[in-house]
Amino acid sequence: MAQTTVKQLASEVGIPVERLVSRLAEAGVSASSADDQISDDDKLKLLRHLRSAESSRSGGKLGAKRSSVSLRRRSTSELKVNTGRGGSSGRTVSVEVRKRRTYANRGQQSDDEQAPARAPEAEASEITQEQAEAQRVAEQERAEAEAAERARREEEERKEAEERARREEEERQRAEAEAKRQAQIQAQKEAEAQANREAMERERARLGVRVDAARSRAQENLRRAAESHGRTEEDVARERERERAARGQAQPANAAGDAGKGKGKSRKELHVAEGKQGRRKDKKKRGGGRRQKNVNVATEHTFERPTAPVVRDVEIPELITVADLAQRMAVKGGEVLKRMMKLGVMATINQTVDQETAQIIVEEMGHNPKPVSSETAEEALAQEVRAEEDQVEGVARAPVVTIMGHVDHGKTSLLDYIRRTKVQAGEAGGITQHIGAYHVKHDKGAITFIDTPGHAAFTRMRARGAEITDIAILIVAADDGVMPQTKESIQHARAAGVPIVVAVTKMDVSGADIEKVKSGLASEDLIPEDWGGDIQVVPVSSKTGEGVDDLLDAVLLQAEVSEFKAPIDVAARGVVIESSLETGRGPVATILVKAGKLKRGDSILAGPHYGRVRAMFNELGEQVKEAGPSIPVEVLGLSGTPEAGDDAFVVANEKKAREIAAQREEHQRESKLAQQQAARLEEVFSAIGEDGPAESKDLNLLIKGDVQGSVEALVESLRKIPSEEVKIRIVSSGVGGISESDVELALASQAIIIGFNVRADNKARKTIAETGVDVRYYSVIYEAIQDVTDAVSGLLGTELREEIIGLAEVRDVFRSSKLGAIAGCVVVDGAVVRGQPIRVLRNNVVVYEGELESLRRHKDAVDRVPAGTECGIGVKNYNDVKPGDQIEVYERTEVQRKVADTETA
């Protein structure tokens, strides 16, 4: 409780201390001195006493005469009065307000009213007393209010202090707990970091061997990539580095660094990928628990896990889709597409690429390509068959003959004559069936004729790997002599290593001149026997039949010389001559048996089809039970119609036949798919071309450059060329030399090719020459932009054009102390001319631009070396020329620009 002293109260009330003391004593409060404390209760006591004293006083001496107490209050305030003179000036007026309130004693009112008027003196004294008392009471009330206010404030302060103390205590406790927790975490982290380090050490020791192996594989890859592209390892490493830099992931340029220091986040193929580890940890992190801390530890200690790239052995079939290839390398399809684009190959994820392309991609992505044949099972079968045949002694067989020669010299007539006269000799006496080949029994032996004459069919069969012909009968009409197709036939037969027997036909006609024919043959290096050579030349007539027997004798003689043999006691195999689907018979194939005996009921595989030999027929339409070497038979029972040239095997069981057939079918399907996609692409691009430049005045560009940076810069700059009339469209852009597919694309979409520091490869060059696609080479970006700008703005002034005047291939490099590196070259195109600027190309990319310092031929300095000639080229200030590089010689000329030059439409 708030307390105050007597002195303070006396001064507050405004009475002397002694008087207050006496009053307090009267009220029963023990206070004798000025410094004695007075509590609030004491004050209340005093108040009550004073009130009772007053009341008793009123009830005694004055009470009879007074019935009310008046309180007057005076208050003074100030008022601002506007004087009306404007502005803020005014007059301040003091206002005093006096109030009077009368408290009436209702109980005594009637008495008062009845009482006579009091004396004025008594009233004045009464008023003075009243005033004093009222003031005292008022002051006492004020003192009480103040005391109460003070007490309230003190209480508030106390509470605040308590609250503060409580909060401070809580804060302290919290800090203590946090410090304790942190200490625990730290201890835990350290323990786990230690454990982690130990685990790493163990892992590193374990991986050491594999990392080394991976590194050496990476080195080996680099070396092979370099070899295959005719570049040094440093070049390849530098190139890869450049690609990485272009991706904003600069890595160490050396191969070992590449192999060993890469981090998981940038190389997904890394062996111990941090990314993977991180992901695993992240999962645990979400789940909470101890592993969560492990993540922090690893991060804080910036520990790098030992990493090495996974160099995978990637099996590559003959055809593979991009998606499948990506899957085999364990990378995303997009990565492969990106890499292909960098290599200048535009593809889609489902597109099929050939084995060679796939191999390059796999190498570029740092893996080991393992080309595999999709016909492994088949190969195994073929090997099996060969091994079996090698162990068996072959027996003489009939020669298989193909008739070739110039058009209308009588091939068909001769074949028909022989068939008609010789085949029908059989007892059946029926009409010969055309089954693609027929078998002739002659006095001295048998001969099989292939019923499809002409060297084109012969070569087509050869192209399919079917070497069925043993002897070629070359027919030359006696009245016409050696003609162009006679010569072609000779070349084809020679290319196949097939012996030739010449039949001079139409001997019955009047203009027949066999000597002329012989001399024509001699000039083709076919020297007739009677001219001292070894070529049998037999005059025949398909009309009269003259000499036909002699011809057959000659063929058999040749066969005897060549000793054609085939094993009999082996599983049969042959070649499909032709096939068809016949109503009521199903797939029918004529198979010429090459070895063994084909029997009815055999399980047979022919091309991608299989089946059981249901029935076999000969050329007379007679059923046969078996057919030995050199015998053609029609076979029924296959699942489909194989193509001419397909091989046919008898396999141990139908299941195996079906398995290989499925493999072959898949192979064919993939090949077809590849073709179909090519066709679709062409359709797309030709569609672009249709509403291309002609109507909408588009300028289509296909851009190829040496590095991604320059390609991007070119594309950006070209797109920004302002033109109201012509819209520039970049059909395609990429890094690397200009390929054949680039040219085809440019052709299909009516685009101009811009090659920046790159050149077209051989195939592309050929297509460019054939199609006339506009290809422009630049080595300064500004010039390319300027040319296109001028073209779209219709400027027809002159332009500086580069013309490649010669191209030489570097075959070898010699070092000379005087001249430095000398490139031993063969000029393959145009001519190499001294005094002209040159460029060194590697994989169709410009690697150096400079001058031709020396040009020599057989140690003599020369001015010009034409195509097809060897020479030695010294490049000024460039000693890094390598075998496989190309050196192009060009000249710059100013030419008048024509509208059609750039506005392709």
Contact residues for ligand GTP, defined by CB under 6 A: 407-413, 453, 505-506, 508-509, 541-543
* Shortest distance in whole angstroms from residue 409 CB to ligand GTP: 5
Query: In one letter, which amino acid is 47?
Result: L
140's tokens: 């006492």
Establish how many alpha carbons lie within 13 A of residue 862's alpha carbon, considering only the half-sphere containing its beta carbon: 16
Q: Does the annotation flag 275 for ligand binding?
A: no
In this structure, the number of other CB atoms found within 10 A of the CB of residue 647 comes to 20
* Shortest distance in whole angstroms from residue 452 CB to ligand GTP: 11
Q: Detail the DSSP E strand segments found in 34-89.
A: 37-38, 68-82
Do residues 200 and 294 lie in contact, with contact meaning Cβ atoms separated by under 8 Å? Answer: no
For tokens 């070049």, the residue is: 235
Q: Does the annotation flag 452 for ligand binding?
A: yes
DSSP 316: E
Q: Does the annotation flag 451 for ligand binding?
A: yes
Nearer of residues 505 and 603 to ligand GTP, judged by Cβ: 505
Nearer of residues 161 and 407 to ligand GTP, judged by Cβ: 407
Nearer of residues 412 and 671 to ligand GTP, judged by Cβ: 412
In this structure, the number of other CB atoms found within 10 A of the CB of residue 723 comes to 15
Nearer of residues 326 and 478 to ligand GTP, judged by Cβ: 478
Nearer of residues 482 and 633 to ligand GTP, judged by Cβ: 482
Nearer of residues 234 and 416 to ligand GTP, judged by Cβ: 416
* Shortest distance in whole angstroms from residue 432 CB to ligand GTP: 16
User: What 3-state class would DSSP assign to 870?
Assistant: strand
* Shortest distance in whole angstroms from residue 410 CB to ligand GTP: 3
* Shortest distance in whole angstroms from residue 372 CB to ligand GTP: 43
CA 90 distance to own-chain centroid: 90
User: What 3-state class would DSSP assign to 253?
Assistant: coil
If we measure between CA atoms, which residue out of 319, 321, 312 comes closest to residue 340? 321
Beta pairing partners, 71: 101
Nearer of residues 475 and 752 to ligand GTP, judged by Cβ: 475
Q: Does the annotation flag 480 for ligand binding?
A: no
Q: Detail the DSSP E strand segments found in 797-869.
A: 798-816, 820-833, 837-842, 845-857, 860-861, 864-866
What is the residue-wise DSSP string for 394-421? -EE-PPEEEEEESTTSSHHHHHHHHHHH
554's tokens: 């000659």
Nearer of residues 375 and 508 to ligand GTP, judged by Cβ: 508
Nearer of residues 410 and 734 to ligand GTP, judged by Cβ: 410
Nearer of residues 411 and 422 to ligand GTP, judged by Cβ: 411
If we measure between CA atoms, which residue out of 397, 393, 501 comes closest to residue 448? 397
If we measure between CA atoms, which residue out of 345, 349, 298, 296 comes closest to residue 327? 349
Phi/psi for 74 (5° steps) reads -115, 130
If we measure between CA atoms, which residue out of 472, 484, 303 comes closest to residue 408? 484
* Shortest distance in whole angstroms from residue 521 CB to ligand GTP: 17
* Shortest distance in whole angstroms from residue 546 CB to ligand GTP: 8
Q: Does the annotation flag 505 for ligand binding?
A: yes
* Shortest distance in whole angstroms from residue 414 CB to ligand GTP: 7
* Shortest distance in whole angstroms from residue 544 CB to ligand GTP: 7
Nearer of residues 407 and 796 to ligand GTP, judged by Cβ: 407
* Shortest distance in whole angstroms from residue 493 CB to ligand GTP: 16
Q: How far, in Å, CA of 87 to CA of 81, rounded?
A: 12
Alpha helices by DSSP H, 262-290 = 274-287
Q: Does the annotation flag 461 for ligand binding?
A: no
Name the CA dihedral angle for 605, 608, 610, 615, rounded to a multiple of 10 degrees.
-80
Task: Write the CB contacts of 549 (distance below 8 Å, at least 6 apart in sequence).
Answer: 442, 443
Instruction: State the sign of the Cα–Cα–Cα–Cα dihedral 667, 668, 669, 672.
Output: positive
Task: Write the CB contacts of 656 (distance below 8 Å, at least 6 apart in sequence).
Answer: 381, 603
Q: Does the annotation flag 407 for ligand binding?
A: yes
Q: Does the annotation flag 434 for ligand binding?
A: no
* Shortest distance in whole angstroms from residue 235 CB to ligand GTP: 56
If we measure between CA atoms, which residue out of 650, 788, 782 comes closest to residue 722? 788
Q: Does the annotation flag 422 for ligand binding?
A: no
CA 556 distance to own-chain centroid: 63
Q: Does the annotation flag 411 for ligand binding?
A: yes
Q: How far, in Å, CA of 225 to CA of 222, rounded?
A: 5
* Shortest distance in whole angstroms from residue 477 CB to ligand GTP: 7
Nearer of residues 405 and 567 to ligand GTP, judged by Cβ: 405
Do residues 771 and 743 lie in contact, with contact meaning Cβ atoms separated by under 8 Å? Answer: yes
For residue 765, what is the enclosing H or E element? helix 762-771
Nearer of residues 325 and 538 to ligand GTP, judged by Cβ: 538
Q: Does the annotation flag 338 for ligand binding?
A: no
Residue nearest ligand GTP by beta-carbon distance:
410
First to last CA, the chain: 108
Q: How far, in Å, CA of 207 to CA of 201, rounded?
A: 10
What is the residue-wise DSSP string for 578-615? EEEEETTTEEEEEEEEEES-EETT-EEEETTEEEEEEE
* Shortest distance in whole angstroms from residue 411 CB to ligand GTP: 4
Nearer of residues 362 and 475 to ligand GTP, judged by Cβ: 475
Instruction: State the sign of the Cα–Cα–Cα–Cα dihedral 760, 762, 768, 771.
Output: negative
If we measure between CA atoms, which residue out of 358, 258, 251, 238 comes closest to residue 309? 258
* Shortest distance in whole angstroms from residue 845 CB to ligand GTP: 50
Q: Does the annotation flag 492 for ligand binding?
A: no
* Shortest distance in whole angstroms from residue 509 CB to ligand GTP: 5
Q: Does the annotation flag 17 for ligand binding?
A: no
What is the residue-wise DSSP string for 139-185? HHHHHHHHHHHHHHHHHHHHHHHHHHHHHHHHHHHHHHHHHHHHHHH
Nearer of residues 506 and 594 to ligand GTP, judged by Cβ: 506
Residue list for the binding site for GTP: 405-412, 451-455, 505-508
| Binding site per annotation, positions | 405-412, 451-455, 505-508
